[in-house]
Amino acid sequence: MCLSLLQVSAPDPSDPTVMRTDFWMPCSPGAPGATEKNWVDIEPHQLWEEPVSMRDMEASLTRSKPSVNTNDMEKMTQFTRDFGSEG
């Protein structure tokens, strides 16, 4: 399976004072500078995961939609009333 990756520079996880240039970060296929690679072409220590901040989490919560609709919640509430247990 091919993936689109960007080569990035980032601090070494074991020594943040050292910058490494051999990291690869997943990206969209059309991203400028994207390179197509297979998973077997990359060592696990070369994958860069962008840190997730509290701001990222808060932004995702504003865009997330409920995974359960009101009708499903009513059915679950009725089930709990009928059988006396959750789930």
Q: What ranges do the domains of the chain cover?
A: 2-83
Place of tokens 């601090």: 11
pTM of the model: 0.58
Structural tokens at position 15 = 């020594």
Yes or no: say if 42 and 5 are a contact pair by the CB < 8 Å rule: yes
Amino acid at 14: S
In this prediction, residue 1 carries a pLDDT of 64
The one-letter code for the residue type at 80 is: T
Residues of the chain with pLDDT under 50: none
Buried/exposed 19-55: b ≥16 CB within 10 Å, e otherwise: eeeebbbebeeeeeebeeeeeeeeeeeeebeeeeeee
pLDDT digits (tens, 9 = 90+) for 33-46: 999 998 888 899 89
